[in-house]
Amino acid sequence: MVLVILNKIYFEQKLIDTIMASFFVFVLIAIGEILSAIVLVTLLGFDPLKMYVGQFWINLFVSVFMVSIINYKKTISFFFIISERGKHKIIKEILPLVIIIVFIYPAYFYYLYFESNLLNTMVLSITLIVIINVLVISILRERSYSANLKTEYDELINNLNEYEKVLEKYRLANHENKNNFIVLKGLLKDDKDNVVEYIDEIINNKQVDDEEVLIKTKKLPMGGLQGLVYQKLLVMKEKLIVYNIEISRDVDVTLFSGFDFTLIKNFCTIIGILIDNSIEAVENLDNKMIGIYIYKENDTFVFSIANTFFGIIDLDKIDKIGYSSKGKGRGYGLNLAKKIVEKDKRIVIEREIVRDVFKQKVKIKM
């Protein structure tokens, strides 16, 4: 009854759900006790007649263990909270010590109450300590990397809003500079042929490549996407990647005006991840090609990215953490995109492979 009440308060569930959950907890605890008893008696040589002495500590240990397994999501969340705190050096130093103390504590009671073999107790404790430390360190490392990656993309999206304003000023300034050169050309036309020729060259060629990118991206919705795509296209240009971007006529700068900031930020974060993934996939290929197609499909805004690739892509595993065809230490970006989509149901990602082209579509309902 106490367990039912505590579960009701802690998990805020219906009474019937709490009763059922408590029942299964007791069943699992019973199974855990049976398995623990078998291990202690057959493998470690405990005397079953003396085991009742420490049954409180056994029950406590098994209960905590089984409840942690049942509520694994909350347990993982607990470690995630620790990982956020783990950015501080002192926490990183203290955490392993805390784990060691936690597992030495029950080992100490096993040794005293069960009069077990000291060597067996030490081996069991050390094994548990090593296993738990490895698991915790692995969780913290992955969580820390994912958190840092998310922070980087959040900062990028925030900065791109300001970047778009700078781009607009650049467009205006570039246009004004051309007008000035045209006026100057008229003034010098009669007697300065060389100057006229030089100015003609500037008018025709000044920032041709960058201006072409500016023209292609100026129709994109404001709010971060325009600046993001512009920056990624410049990266492709620098890496000598052949790219093609097509934007349908029904897409304009005001398209995101009805969206909230969270949706725009999430969408831009995903687009940034997918374009980065495409760039990494093609930059070492002989055939470096990326296609970006932006259009509306009925009441849905679609951002499509296609790239050539080499090797095998497993669509079922592609967004799992750590999975990557490009080696170790990668695969976190697509996993972050998956987590964003799981939280924000307004965004959908679709993937397909057509011969040697990998296509990804990100959709938002208008």
pLDDT of residue 209: 55
Q: In angstroms, rounded to a whole number, what is the distance separating the alpha carbons of residues 210 and 173?
A: 14
Edge-first strand order for the sheet with 300-308 is 242-247, 289-297, 300-308, 357-365, 347-354
The predicted model gives 117-123 an average pLDDT of 63
Tell whether pTM > 0.85.
Answer: no
Q: In angstroms, rounded to a whole number, what is the distance separating the alpha carbons of residues 204 and 216?
A: 18
**What structural domains does the chain harbor?**
2-148 (no CATH), 209-365 (3.30.565.10)
Neighbours of 27 (CB within 10 A): 11
SS3 317: coil
Query: Pick the residue with more confidence: 107 or 255?
Result: 255
pLDDT of residue 336: 82
Nearest in space to 263 (alpha carbons), one of 152, 157, 150, 145? 157
- At 205-230, the pLDDT tens digits run 555 556 677 777 888 888 778 888 88
Least confident interval from 81-95, 154-168, 246-260: 81-95
pLDDT of 73 > 70? The answer is no
- At 29-48, the pLDDT tens digits run 667 667 767 776 677 666 65
Alpha-carbon distances of 82 from 67, 129, 267, rounded to whole Å: 19, 18, 28
**Pairing assessment for the beta strands 347-354 and 300-308 based on DSSP bridges:** unpaired
CB 163 within 8 A of CB 227: yes
Rounded to 5 degrees, φ, ψ at 116 are: -80, 170
Least confident interval from 122-126, 266-270, 308-312: 122-126
- At 188-208, the pLDDT tens digits run 655 555 566 656 665 565 555
Quick one: pLDDT band at residue 89, thresholds 50, 70, 90? very low
Instruction: Give the sign of the dihedral formed by CA 336, CA 302, CA 272, CA 260.
Output: negative
Q: In angstroms, rounded to a whole number, what is the distance separating the alpha carbons of residues 37 and 20?
A: 26
